[in-house]
């Protein structure tokens, strides 16, 4: 886990504070903007975003999945992963 600072704020309140919120997004710190209590967008440091995109691209190149197969993939739940880890220990 990193040492990033997470701020969560409703979009309606963020409008008046956009400049200050942008200042909070240095390095790995980010601000989550919500609407109706649900996350909608995130303000991040531009260099952090570029580095994140590069990291994702590097991983994607190593774990290539044909885009045509994406509709047939799914994310596994935490309970499924925990069960597999438990089975691996047996």
Residue 1 has pLDDT above 50, yes or no: no
- pTM beyond 0.75, yes or no: no
Q: Determine the pLDDT at residue 43.
A: 94
Residues contacting residue 26 through CB under 8 Å, at least 6 positions apart: 45
For residue 39, give the 3-state DSSP assignment.
strand
Domains, the chain, in order of start with CATH, read 6-89 (3.40.1620.10)
pLDDT tens-place string over residues 63-77: 667 778 888 888 888
């Amino acid at each position: 886990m990193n040492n990033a600072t997470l701020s969560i704020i409703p979009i309606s309140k963020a409008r008046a504070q956009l400049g200050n919120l942008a200042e909070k997004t240095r390095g790995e710190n980010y601000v989550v903007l919500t609407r109706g209590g649900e996350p909608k967008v995130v303000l991040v440091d531009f260099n952090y975003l570029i580095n994140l995109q590069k990291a994702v691209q590097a991983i994607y190149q190593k774990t290539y999945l044909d885009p045509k197969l994406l509709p047939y993939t799914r994310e596994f739940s935490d309970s499924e992963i925990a069960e597999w880890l438990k089975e691996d220990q047996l």
